[in-house]
Amino acid sequence: MQGSLIAQVEDPGEKARIVSEVLLDLPDWFGLPESTKAYIEQSKHLPLWVAKTGDEVVGFITLAESSPETGEIHCMGVKKAYHRKGIGTQLYLALERYAKEKYKYLQVKTVEEGHYAEYDQTVAFYTAMGFSKLEVFPTLWNEQNPCLIMIKALWIP
C-alpha cells in the first residue's frame, strides 16, 4: 500500500502496544487470550518491524531464533481492513533483509491447510513469499490445529 512506512522498533513497551493493538483486531487468527498475551509479552524481547499508514499502526512482524542458522517468523499480523494491500509483503521483506545478515534459513509455523480458511490464506501468503512446506506435526498444538512448518533458504550454496 502506498504511504505505508515500515520501521524497526526498539522500545519494549512500544512493541507490546503495537502487537496488542494489531492482534486484538484479528480474532479469527488470534482468538485465544492466553496465546495472544504470550505473543505480546514475547514481542518485547524480539526484533520487531511495524507498518504504519500515517499515525495508524496497521501491522507488525517479529523474528525469533530457532537455531544459530535459522530465524523464525515468531508472529505477524496486519489489521483486517489492510489485508491484500501489500503491507504483509513489505513487513516480510524488511524482516528478510535483516535475517539474511544472520541466518541461512527462515521458518514459520502455521496451521496446516484445509482446516480454517484464514490459515489457508496464511499458507498462501508464505508460499508466495517463497516458503516451502517442510513437515506437519498433527498434535504439536492439538488435533484441531495441526502445525505446518514452512521453510525458506536465505542463501544459495
Domains identified in the chain and CATH numbers: 4-153 (3.40.630.30)
53: β partners: 4, 56
Instruction: List, in sequence order, the alpha helices (H) in 24-67.
Output: 33-43
Residue 30 has a pLDDT of: 77
The answer, yes or no, to whether residue 2 has pLDDT greater than 70, is no
Number of other CB atoms surrounding residue 103 within 10 Å? 22
For all residues of the chain together, what is the average pLDDT?
A: 93
The answer, yes or no, to whether residue 31 has pLDDT greater than 90, is no
| Residues of the chain by 3-state class (helix, strand, coil), percent to 5 | 35, 40, 30
- In what order do the strands lie in the sheet containing 70-78? 4-9, 48-53, 56-67, 70-78, 105-111, 145-153, 132-142
The answer, yes or no, to whether residue 1 has pLDDT greater than 60, is no
